[in-house]
Structure formats: C-alpha cells, structure tokens
Amino acid sequence: MRKPFIAGNWKMNNTRAAALELVNALKPLVADVSDVEIAVAPTFTCLQDVAEALKGSNIELSAQNISYAKNGAYTGEISADMLKDVGCTHAIIGHSERRQYFGETDHDVSKRVRAALDNNIIPIVCVGETLAQREAGKTSDVVLGQVENGLSSVKKEEAAKVVIAYEPVWAIGTGVTATPDQAQEVHAAIRLKLAELFGADNAAAMRIQYGGSVKASNAKELLGQADIDGALVGGASLKAADFSAIIHAAK
C-alpha cells in the first residue's frame, strides 16, 4: 500500500518572514494528518528557518534542487551535505522549469539523483511533456525516456525510495489540469516502465505524484486514480488553507 505524498513546491517565492508565516499557518491545519506524507520545498535561503519551524511537526523539508557534486568550485550550487545540514530529507530534481530555463538534461538529472541517494536524500524526480509533444503524439516517448534516462543511476535495491512527479508542462502554473483519465494513463505507463527497469515489486512500491495546477477542487478526483500516489503542488501550496485542503483530499 503506497502512502500518498503531497509536496509543496514554493518555487522562487517568499522571504524568510513570509515562509515562516506560511509554514506556521500550515502546521495546525494538518497536525492531525498521519496517513499522508507531507513536505514543503522553500527556496534555499528559507530552508534553515523553515526547518526550525517544522521541528516536531509531521511536515518534511525538501530542497528545490541539489548539486551532483560533493563540494568545490561549483559557483551557485548547493550540495547534498549542505542540504542535510539544514535538515532536508527530500530534493526536487529535474523540474520542468530547470529543464526549460536552465538547460538541465536527463543526464544532469541522473547525476543529481545519484548524489541525493548517496546522501540519504529522497529524490522527487520530475518528468513531463510539453503541449507540442503531446499534440505530436509523443507523450509516452518523452515521459518514459525521461524516466529511463533520469533514473539511469538508480540501483534496483534503492528504487523504492525514489518518488516520480509526472507534471505535464502545459499544466504547470496555467490553471489547466490534465483530466484524471489523461493523468492516470501516463502514470500507468510510467509504472510499467518502472517495472521493466526495477522489477514489479519495486514498481508497485514507488510513489508517482501528479503535478500541474492541482487545487482543492480537482485534487480528490486526481488522487482517486489507481496510479496517482500524491501531488507536487506549486501555486496552491503558497496558501496554507489551499495546500491543507489538498492534503486532506489525499486522506
């Protein structure tokens, strides 16, 4: 039985004061939730303050990225050691905005995934097709290729720890959501690919989140699909009440 996992990707939003306000508003709203795993991913500058605020709560801390390198001359990068040092347990990897604006490739993703796993950080690996790719009938090729290449550094025995986030690029931040059927179709295909790569037992244990304009009003139906095991939430994670409603919909 896969435990639903809801993570909030705050992207480049919130100063430290605003981040604390948000997380302190969220904590009491979800304090009674034990059957859903919950994480928030603030910007790097807010991680330490948010980590302090989350102590003793049921909310985990994720970074929005992780360096593949251990340390050294990598200006602007943040290593796994540094993330662990401030209390991160998870890292989002290969978000479509990183791929689109910062040129990240599946090869980068696989290196970052390796660094995360080597340091006991759970990778949340994002995959998803653009609208042009969907319209050209390439959704499966693109998404399954990203899964295979992005997870090429993962060993069979560690696969169950990895979280995948299927996020159709055309649904991110647009207010347009994949229908539950559209999402389920891709999630099922991803799980088949995971079975091919890591075996059926691992594939059955791995969580696949959906992301792309998830909100309180559509969460229940999406999360009710057989292969949708949670959500990676952008915009709606910036308001405590909205994010809490999504978390409660996952129960």
Q: Evaluate whether 174 touches 128 at the Cβ level (below 8 Å).
A: no
Q: Nearest-CA neighbor of 87 among 118, 124, 126, 41?
A: 41
What is the length of the chain?
Answer: 251
Residue 224 sits in the site that holds ligand PEP (CB under 6 A): no
Question: Among residues 122 and 233, whose Cβ is nearest to ligand PEP?
Answer: 233
From 167, 227, 229, 242, residue interacting with ligand PEP (rule: CB under 6 A):
167
Radius of gyration of the chain (CA): 17
Residue 94 sits in the site that holds ligand PEP (CB under 6 A): no
- Bridge partners (DSSP) listed for residue 7: 39, 232
User: For 56, which DSSP code?
Assistant: T
Stretch that binds ligand PEP, among 15-23, 48-56, 73-81, 232-240 (CB under 6 A): 232-240
Read off the amino acid at residue 89. T
Angle between helices 180-198 and 139-150 (to 10 degrees): 40
Residue 8: phi and psi, rounded to 5, are: -105, 120
From 62, 213, 218, 244, residue interacting with ligand PEP (rule: CB under 6 A):
213
Q: How far is the CB of 145 from ligand PEP (least distance, A)?
A: 20
Stretch that binds ligand PEP, among 61-69, 152-160, 195-203, 207-215 (CB under 6 A): 207-215
Nearest residue to ligand PEP by CB is 234
Q: Evaluate whether 231 touches 213 at the Cβ level (below 8 Å).
A: no
Site for ligand PEP in 135-164 (CB under 6 A): none
Residue 212 sits in the site that holds ligand PEP (CB under 6 A): yes
Q: Nearest-CA neighbor of 39 among 4, 85, 6, 83?
A: 6
Residue 26 sits in the site that holds ligand PEP (CB under 6 A): no
User: For 126, which DSSP code?
Assistant: E
Contacts for 46 with CB less than 8 Å, ≥ 6 apart: 10, 14, 15, 16, 19, 20
Stretch that binds ligand PEP, among 48-56, 116-124, 131-139, 228-236 (CB under 6 A): 228-236
Token pair listed for 203:
């594939």
Q: Would you give the binding string for ligand PEP spanning residues 168-197, x where CB under 6 A is met?
A: ----xx------------------------
Residue 9 sits in the site that holds ligand PEP (CB under 6 A): yes
Q: How far is the CB of 226 from ligand PEP (least distance, A)?
A: 21
Q: Tell me which residues are annotated as active site.
A: 95, 167
From 51, 235, 240, 250, residue interacting with ligand PEP (rule: CB under 6 A):
235
Residue numbers of the site for ligand PEP (CB under 6 A)?
Answer: 9, 167, 172-173, 211-214, 232-236
